[in-house]
Amino acid sequence: MSRRTSRRIPTLPSWLPVDPYILALIGTVVLAALLPVSGTGAEVAGGASTGAVALLFFLYGARLSTAEALDGLKHWRLHLTVLACTFLVFPLLGLAGQGLVPYVLAPQLQDGFLFLCLVPSTIQSSIAFTSMARGNVPAAICAGSFSSIAGILLTPLLAAVLLGGTGGGFSADSLLKIVLQLLVPFLAGQLLRRWVGGFLGRHRKVLGYVDRGSILLVVYTAFSEGMVAGIWHQVTPLRLVGLLGAEAVLLALMLTLSWYGAKRLGFGREDRIAIQFAGSKKSLAAGLPMASVLFGAHASLAVLPLMLFHQMQLMVCAVLAKRRSRDPLPDGDTVSQQAVPVG
For residue 339, being part of any structural domain is answered with: no
For residue 12, being part of any structural domain is answered with: no
For residue 39, being part of any structural domain is answered with: yes
In Å, the largest CA–CA distance within the chain is 66
For residue 182, being part of any structural domain is answered with: yes
Q: How many domains does the chain have?
A: 1
For residue 300, being part of any structural domain is answered with: yes
| pLDDT, tens only, 245-279 | 999 999 999 999 999 999 999 999 999 999 999 99
Could you tell me the pLDDT band of residue 70, with boundaries at 50, 70 and 90? low
| pLDDT, tens only, 120-147 | 998 777 888 888 888 888 788 788 878 8
For residue 145, being part of any structural domain is answered with: yes
pTM confidence score? 0.74
Rounded to whole angstroms, the Cα distance separating 3 from 8 reads 14
Structural domain of 209: 20-323
Phi and psi angles of residue 243, each rounded to the nearest 5 degrees, phi first: -65, -45
For residue 75, being part of any structural domain is answered with: yes
Could you tell me the pLDDT band of residue 6, with boundaries at 50, 70 and 90? very low
Are 312 and 251 in contact by the 8 Å Cβ rule? The answer is yes
- Mean pLDDT of the 19-48 span: 80
Residues in the chain, total: 343
Task: Check which CATH number belongs to the domain holding 207 and give it.
Answer: 1.20.1530.20
Could you tell me the pLDDT band of residue 68, with boundaries at 50, 70 and 90? low
| CB-based burial, 287-304: b 16+ in 10 Å, e otherwise | bbbbbbbbbbebbbbbbb
For residue 10, being part of any structural domain is answered with: no
